[in-house]
Structure 1
Amino acid sequence: MSRFRNLVLLLAFAFADANAFVFNDVRVEGLQRISAGTVFGSLPYNVGDDLSELDLRFIIRALFETGSFDNVQVGRDGDVLVIAVTERPTIDEIEIEGNKAIKTEDLLDGLSDSGLAVGQIFKKVTLEHIATGLERQYVSQGRYDAGISTDVIRLPRNRVRIKVDVDEGNVSSIKHINIVGNTLWDDETLRELMELKLSSLLFFWKKDDQYSKEKLTSDLEALESWYLDRGYLNFTIDSTQVSIAPNMEDVYITVNVIEGEKFTVSSVDIAGELQDLPEESIRSLILSQAGQVFSRQLMTSSEERIERILGNAGYTFASATGQTVIDEGGDTVSVKFFVDAGKRAYVRRITFRGNTATHDEVLRREMRQMEAGWASTAAIEHSKLRLERLGFFKEVNVETPPVPGTEDQIDVNYTVEEQPSGAISASLGFAGDIGLIVGANYQENNVFGTGNSINIAINRSDFQKAFNFSFLDPYYTVDGVSRGYSVFFRESDFEERNIARFSTDTFGGSINFGYPLSEI
């Protein structure tokens, strides 16, 4: 038997070698959208190589693996390798109808995240993926009876349009929330902590009885926080069951909890590298104290307070982590804060992005964090607040990325979004003794991006004309002394309205200086 198998293999290789040939050129037929270079790049062989029947099969497999072709045939014409392909169509358009609860853009974004978008290659399995992807989005909103139907319309130039009809169905409402295992607080008290509520005819407009997986996850976290903040360190959510009624509209939720024992704090310790900060100053920031009922919220707040103080002292990469160790044979717990101040970080560069109209100098003079100085979290945030107070920007964001290749330097990058800083107004009125009154006013708080402000006002009536102009430079000096001046002119003809037999022309001006008394 073994000899017979070897003989068959020998004959097969001999036959394969008999049909082998050296190809000196490649001709590709059937291409419409895909370039010939893409096909050439997928071939596992080069011009001048010997090709056997087995090699031709490898070529067919390699082209199929690209996912771009429905059919591939390989042959020879003398010393020319001939490849005939049938391309798969591309998705030219995805049309969605019937959706109201979820916007079309959001549905398309969800499909795109799943790898389905206009311009991609269309496969038969794509229809199943589209239906599954859309149904998943509706299920996440509690619409379990949503239905998706798809249709493929062939277009010229090997393209397709996919038409999707959506039956959104109804939102499933919560009929019952059952909490099992709770002895310290009743179901009603715990349900008050949850965003999901039971169906109510009185408050139907709130729509908080509509089930969604995201809301349930948030509610479970709220339950956990409630217990952990009251000393129940071993509290766990053992399991959660969500049942859907046969009508696909009623939802029943069961949450099984294990409350555990109540713990008090036996001791609070600090460990780690504090650099030049005394331990007493760090300990004064800790809210958890011995003898108190353990609270995760107090421990988390203590971590944030420690990191903030270290950040203000230049230790931008500092971390503080609270850990608990349950004492043996009791209902007490030891809390230890592990502090790693790290190296003091310095600011290499402060940059501004998005200020298309406002000069960099205007932003830089608001900085309370200086370049080459140590990085202070408070100074960086205060600088951000001062930029927001200017009123020139719709939004201000700040990032502090570390400088590559260093351990003690960061860059401070402020990103702003400009908004209009000026206003034009006009007024029109009438008074019996004065007559028609016309006025116009122009106010610009950021003249040509310099941060200076001007105001021009013109008013006119039957017997009076008035003009006012004012200018303010908020940074006349580098330390924040402001200088402003104003001029005005008023021409009055009282005889015009039979008020008096004279007319007056009045003009004047003023100059003022201001000095900031505080940073607030």
Structure 2
Amino acid sequence: MHSMKRLFWAVSFGLLLPAIVWAQSFVVSDIRVEGLQRVSAGSVFAALPVRVGDQIEALDIQNATRALFRTGYFQDLEIGREGTVLVVTVRERPAISKIELTGNKAIKSEDLLKGMAENGLAEGQIFKRATLEGLALELERQYVAQGRYGASVATEVKELPRNQVELIITVDEGKVAAIKHINIVGNEAFSDDELRDSFELQTTGWLSWLRSDDKYSREKLTGDLERLESYYLDRGYLQFSIDSTQVSLSPDKRSVFITVNINEGEVFSVSEVELAGDPVLPEEEIRRLLLVRQGQTFSQVLMTTTSDYITKRLGNEGYTFAEVNGIPESDDAEKTVKVTFFIDPGKRAYVRRVEFRGNTRTSDEVLRREMRQMEGASASSARIEQSKVRLERLGYFKEVQVETEEVPGTSDQVDVEYTVEEQPSGTVGATVGYAQGSGLVLGANVQENNWLGTGKAVAFAVNTSRWQTVYNFSYTDPYFTPDGVSRGFNVFYRERNFDEINVSSYSTDSYGAGLNFGYPISEVSRVGLNIGYSHLEVQTGPFAVQEISGTPKPIGFSDLNPLGVVDNYILQSELESGDFELGDWMGQVFPVEGSEELFQMPGEGFIDANGDSFDNFSLTGSWARSTLNRGILATRGSSQHVSAEFTLPGADLEYYKFIYTGQYFRPLTKKLTLRLRTRLGWADAYGDTTELPFFENFFAGGFGSVRGFERNTLGPRSTPAQIYDLQTITVTNPDGTTSTRNVYVSDDTEFTSAARDRRPDPFGGNALIEASAEVIFPMPFVKDQRSIQSAFFIDAGNVFDTSCGSQQINCFDIDADYLNVSAGIGVTWITGFGPLTFSLAKALRENEFDDREAFQFSLGNSF
């Protein structure tokens, strides 16, 4: 009892001591601060509400203590006096020397550190424990918002020498709780499945691992509830309401159950539609834009869409800041609603300046010539948007954005600013290597659609190897005249020796040039004209394929000895003795010895009938129409291109060629887009030319055609040459005498056998059919989707020939039963060296001699 009394008086004395010490006020003659390490004395003096010369009392000291503590720099301090000198002794809070984060994956470390720095927790800053604890709680709340209800954040403060600390933050993110059930209560007009279809949140399904749509998020649920409300309002349920929402969690915090209680109300119909305000335009013109009609079920989306239509129409007349609001007035007794569109056009605006941002490479002139909104003219929403679309179609930019801003100090002027983000618009390649059969390979090629930012297209290539030398240069100016007439030209020279790579025993030398013009006939359509000249010389060897240079070869007996007789003697018993030329037999029909079968000697090859040197002048007309939203990796719109090429009468070769290509994009959902593509071709000879030149044939297979098959390998195959030697042999006549005969005997040397047994090469045909259907989807885990496109696809197509040779394999007249079909996935990525393309495909239907190729890769072509 006595000890308790002594303790009481001791404590009381301690509490009263400061009051006794400061009972007498004094005038401060000086202020001294002790204990500072990192905090400057100036910071202390700035926070201290006492100055030299002030007369202070005990209350002033209390206020000064509170002021210094509020700075957050000190964890303890003491204010005393030595005579008339005020002494401030402080103990600073420790500084943060290092911050270590572990266990976080869903939220990146740089994002966490940035958030901590914004709250004063960063290396070099003063450590505040309260801030750390609050930040840990906030971090846990963020994980809960992501559906990670089992997440926890542990903090540890490790003291270091020199009054420093290390913060160790350990995160256990836990598992994201999956939605097991979404229950909607109170719906009678629509089923649960109908209502849930519009939800972003879904119960766990077989694609949930990819879409993550079964992971609960408070923000996503809020959006789903807004969509649910819009669903009912768009169907006339004006009294619809969401009474309550419950989100419950399973005991293991791994499953989420959502219940939404709703009240549907009654369906309202439109009783009247009125216009109010100042429509500016004639009322009948405005009423043609109304989607809301008297007598129909009320729809909120039709009302808001009508407002948008009227706003855009006024914007086209220069009323850029027009406001149109649809106001519904309901009659609960009659279950009707009167809709009034209040129109405030504002003042007509004029464009002061059109400016561009972000085009560091492309000159302003290239962008400005695409503008349909002119400076000084009244502002038109349609022309401003049309200019934006034209910039996107150039293919030079990842993204184009446009903003219309009022000019300060005026009420009728605006500035239009286009912001672009540039992307690669060409391909660059170089090759130095060695290939078996081709030898040393040297090459360089450049194709640039925006040459030095001028908008001109330039391409040149130099390639040389043991089997070919190619030089090519082309140039196109899309604005040769200010009104959009284009002009271009190209020149080329090629030497190719196909015998060097065992393709066929022939080589070509060719050179030529062309001049082309294009003329715009509308905003989305152009016509073109190309005049070209080419000179081609073909040199054939003994192994040139039958279709190029004819050689005697039996038709229809590929599994037999050439004539079905021993020793490979040709016409041993059926022809009279004597000298003869094989060329005399071309196309003739003969019996096979010892058989009732007949065989036909092959006819002339192309070179036999048409010569081997050609000078040609060609004329090509074309029409193109494009409404695509982008020049590269489009996702909306369509495009078509038709070309017709004719060699001029009197040229060494007379033929014509028609090609049609088209594609169409249609959105399926918010993230999925359907793309349909086709390419059709037809060609034939006319006049004195006996058949379409083999070097003008169509080919199919590979990227841009039918993926899953090797490039250019579909369709007709060539007929390998058959080599014969003229020899003199001795035969025994029926009367016992002998005589000599000159016969042609098949050459059975090892080289000839290998050439004959080799699989025939693709030869192409005069008819082409290709079609493709793709579903474009966003690439998972890729934030910037503007330079990458991925798609599931089904390709179909083949090359046909309407005049197949009797010995040609894989050659068919046009027949859908012989279309090749494949399916797979493809990815295109726009890089600095051009489009980088991958595809993985499986052949679903093929012909006997087609060459499959499951994985394909290309740099410079889109899929």
Match 2:93 to one of 84, 88, 92: 88
Question: Which of 380, 386, 396 pairs up with 1:392?
Answer: 396
- Deviation (angstroms), 1:40: 2.9
Counterpart code for 2:484: G
Identity of aligned residues (%): 57
Given candidates 331, 347, 369, the residue that maps to 1:365 is 369
Hey, what's the Cα distance between the residues in 1 that align with 2:141 and 2:394? 46
Q: Structure 2 CA distance, aligned partners of 1:372 and 1:148?
A: 60
Contact 1:148 1:167 (8 Å CA) reproduced: yes
* Structure 2 contact 347–412 (Cα < 8 Å) conserved: yes
Structure 2 residue aligned with 1:293, among 293, 297, 306? 297
Q: Is the 8 A contact 1:369 1:376 kept in 2?
A: yes
| Offset at residue 512 of structure 1 (A) | 4.2
Q: CA separation of 1:383/1:423 partners in 2, compared to 1, >3 Å: closer, same or farther?
A: same
Partner of 2:383: 379
Deviates more, 1:241-250 or 1:31-40: 31-40
Alignment match, 1:4? none
- Kept after mapping to 1: 8 A contact 2:474/2:490: yes
Matched residue, 2:338: 334
1:69 aligned onto 2:81: no
Higher relative helix content? 1
Matches within 5 A, 1:446-465: 446-462=450-466, 465=469
The answer to which of 98-107 and 342-351 deviates more is: 98-107
Once the two structures are TM-superposed, the CA of residue 79 in structure 1 deviates from its matched residue by: 5.9
CA–CA distance in structure 2, aligned partners of residues 492 and 231 of structure 1: 73
Q: Cα 1:173–1:15, aligned 2, differ >3 Å: closer, same or farther?
A: closer
**Pairing of 1:187-226 with structure 2 (within 5 A):** 187-199=192-204, 205=209, 207-226=212-231
- Residue 261 of structure 1, CA deviation: 0.9
Measured in 1, the distance between the counterparts of 2:416 and 2:64 equals: 54
Higher mean displacement: 36-45 or 137-146: 36-45
Selected match of 2:186 from 181, 188, 191 = 181
Structure-2 change in CA distance of 1:204 and 1:314 (3 Å): closer
Q: Over residues 51-110 of structure 1, what are the superposed CA-to-partner deviations in whole Å (9 max), with x where a residue is unaligned?
A: 444333322222222222222333455665443333223444432212334433444455
Query: Per-residue displacement from partner, 1:477-507 (whole Å, max 9, x unpaired)?
Result: 332233334444567999x99x99x998x87
Deviates more, 1:289-298 or 1:434-443: 434-443
Query: Does the aligned pair in 1 maintain the 2:183–2:259 contact within 8 Å?
Result: yes
Distance 1:96 1:437, change over 3 A: closer
After the TM superposition, which of the residue ranges 33-42 and 58-67 deviates more from structure 2?
33-42
Q: Give 2:109's match in structure 1, choosing from 104, 108, 120.
A: 104
The alignment partner of 1:406 has SS state of: coil
Q: Could you tell me which residue of structure 1 aligns to residue 592 of structure 2?
A: none
Whole-angstrom CA distance in 2 between matches of 1:364 and 1:317? 24
In the alignment, what sits opposite 1:154? 159
Relative to structure 1, the CA distance from residue 489 to residue 142 in structure 2 (aligned partners, 3 Å threshold; closer, same or farther) is closer
Deviations 1:128-155 (A, max 9, x none): 2122112111111222122221111234
Instruction: Tell me the distance in 2 between the aligned counterparts of 1:74 and 1:332.
Output: 77
Aligned-residue offset at 1:360: 2.0
SS in 1 for 2:167: strand
Distance in 1 between the 2:212 and 2:384 partners? 42
Q: In structure 1, give the amino acid aligned to 2:329.
A: V
1-structure distance, mates of 2:156, 2:292 = 62
Q: Which amino acid aligns with 1:289?
A: R
Report what 2:601 is aligned to. none
State the SS of the aligned residue for 2:406.
coil
Determine if contact 1:27/1:80 at 8 Å carries over to the other structure.
yes
The answer on whether the counterparts of 1:116 and 1:130 sit within 8 Å (CA) in structure 2 is: no
Q: Is the 8 A contact 2:425 2:449 kept in 1?
A: yes
Mapped to 2, the partners of 1:258 and 1:112 lie a distance apart of 47
Distance in 2, Cα, partners of 1:278 & 1:519? 28
Q: Go from structure 1 to structure 2 and tell me whether the alpha carbon gap of 1:401 and 1:158 turns closer, same or farther (over 3 Å shift).
A: farther
Match of 2:416 in 1: 412
The answer for the alignment partner of 2:61 in structure 1 is 56
Q: Following the alignment from structure 1 to structure 2, what is the Cα–Cα distance between the partners of residues 79 and 361?
A: 77
d(CA) in 2 for partners of 1:149 and 1:294? 55
1:111 and 1:133 in contact (8 A); partners too: no
Aligned length: 502
Say which of 279, 294, 297 aligns to 1:274.
279
**1:285–1:306 contact (8 Å) kept in structure 2:** yes
Q: Does the aligned pair in 2 maintain the 1:316–1:345 contact within 8 Å?
A: yes
The equivalent of 1:129 in structure 2 is 134
Separation in 2 of the partners of 1:280 and 1:92? 74
After superposing the two structures, state which structure 1 stretch, 104-113 or 416-425, moved more: 104-113
In structure 1, give the amino acid aligned to 2:379.
A
1:421 corresponds in structure 2 to: 425
TM-score by length of 2: 0.53
CA distance in 2: counterparts of 1:193 and 1:515, whole angstroms = 47
The 3-state SS of whatever aligns with 1:225 is helix
Residue 274 to residue 254, structure 1, CA distance change in 2 (3 Å) = same
Aligned 8 A contact 1:425 1:442 in 2: yes
Q: Which runs of 5+ in 2 are unaligned?
A: 1-17, 525-863
User: What CA RMSD, in Å, does the superposition of the two structures yield over aligned residues?
Assistant: 3.5
Distance 2:256 2:494 in 1: 75
Residue 400 of structure 1 aligns to a residue whose secondary structure is strand
1:519: how far off? 2.0
In the other structure, the counterpart of 2:816 is: none
Does the 8 Å contact 2:19/2:58 carry over to 1?
no
1:232 to 2:233 alignment: no
Asked whether the 8 Å contact 1:347–1:409 carries over to 2, the reply is: yes
Rg: which structure is higher?
2
- Deviation string 1:325-345 (CA, Å, 9 cap, x unpaired) is 112631111011111111112
Partners of 1:204 and 1:512 in 2: CA distance: 53
